[in-house]
Structure 1
Amino acid sequence: MFFVVFFVFVFLFFGEVWAEDGGNEKKVDFSGYFQNFFIFKTDSDFDKSPAFYEPWGQTAGVLGTYAEPRISFFIGENKFAIETLWGFNLWSRNFTFARPDAEAGRQLFIFARQIYSDVKIGESRVKVGYQYFADPLEIFLRNWIGGARFESKNFQIFLGQVPEQTYEGIELFSNNFANDTFVLSFAYASGGFAPKDGIPFVGEGFFGGIYNLIDNSVIRKLTFISTLVLGYRYEAEGFSFIGGFAGQAGVFTKSAFDLKNENHLAGALQASIVSKGRTKMAQIL
């Protein structure tokens, strides 16, 4: 079905159906990135309690490679994009998402990481599909999820469904919305929101938003968390600064002792500075 949708769009993009498009420019853009990665950790980084197994410490580490090529079709200011993940091969094994004996002959892993349409309607934009989404500080939400994003000048509304594996059927109509996880957010940015898949998502200036998570993946144990994000982004010639505060409150239903509700409160401060400029390997920002 994915390839059917893809080729149908390519046909419409280059076919005569779009011949009378009001003079809108058509173009195709290829982008993406390639990365080798190294991860190393020990159990003593965050947990200081004595271990039951391997009391002198346990380490874990991997080396891997993946690429994320993206192809985008533009018709005027409207966009349709497909971003795929190729590889994610760990060097110690060929296929990391299944048993080595079950997938011994499978060398390449490919799936659509993002597939969405981004359409301009008047002075507003509507972006619908499977997409990367995060709060401006990337401190509460940062994930690839399915959703609809509505933006008008300095305001943004987002409604999305977070993917998870609990109680989800293999067949299409074996699923329902009863045990899913949803996100609903309302945000403001004085510098507007990035029109492309930029990080961060906001322009220079003050920003704020409320990001709500409704998690019903555990039966009869609804979780509701609301996060207030406030911050500022500053752009200089040689660096970029973004900082802010996140305050969080919510309730975990029937999660405390004797199946009582558990209240949740948390907060965090975050600041980061990124240097701009060109290096021999790449351009930063």
Structure 2
Amino acid sequence: MSDNSSPTPYPGIETSAPLARDFTFTTQRAGETLTMRVEAASWGYPNWGLQIGVSIDDGGKTRHNSTGVRRPDLPFERATVGDALALFESVGIVPCRTCGAPAFDPDTSITNRAGECESCFLERIDRDFERQMLPSRIRELKAELQRAVDHKAKGFTHRLLAMIHPEAGGDDYLVEFFTKKEPTPAEIEKLLKKRRSAVLNDYRLTHLDILQTSLQEALAKAEADKVTFAAETTEARKVAAKAARDAKKAIGAAAKTPGKARSPKATARAGKPPQGDQGDAS
């Protein structure tokens, strides 16, 4: 067993006791509730060493708000409660770089949140995904709107979107129908039976006037988002460019500071007398 013990006292806890797989510990730190648990990787992988997980209670705003820290040099079989608590103490909490809420210090834990709290991290990746998908979203909306306009011009009044669940199994798929009158539920069921769908009520029927208005609104929002994302990208580039310029200026200033940097020629001349007339003035 390791003789390490927790760096802070834990009343009622025997820190020298062997570490159990189900050991957990909850405490308050900097006004936040932190909970520690032993990760299964500690005993599940050969030569992995002790690893714990630490979570911050954020009031249920996110499902996953945790990090990990590991001691690869300490086998789980030799670890004590104190060893786990010492790892727990090593996990730092810092203000989120975006909103200031508590976040895990990336320098002291296993995390890809880079100093962001879970809420900001999830919001950022959702927004990044939305930004990446926006061009295809706009194309799809334009195509869908054009189909509605074309069919309305031909006398169609309703669109039926139905999910087909094949009786024989396999992947479900979406189908689109246009009708020149509002179909009854029985007519829709008959149509889906022809497609051999095992489910006969997974559909949406929309009048083309309502559909057209809805698609126009969705397209307008998507186009507005495109402008917003472009502005955000431009601003981010400006910030990055300014940071690069500032760094370049700082490097230049440091190079000009006496004693900080000298050119090879200056170094070669060091210690040599000045050239030219070296006689005493008379």
- TM-score above 0.5, yes or no: no
TM-score, L = length of structure 2: 0.23
Structure with more of its chain in strand, by fraction = 1
TM-score, L = length of structure 1: 0.23
Structure with more of its chain in helix, by fraction = 2
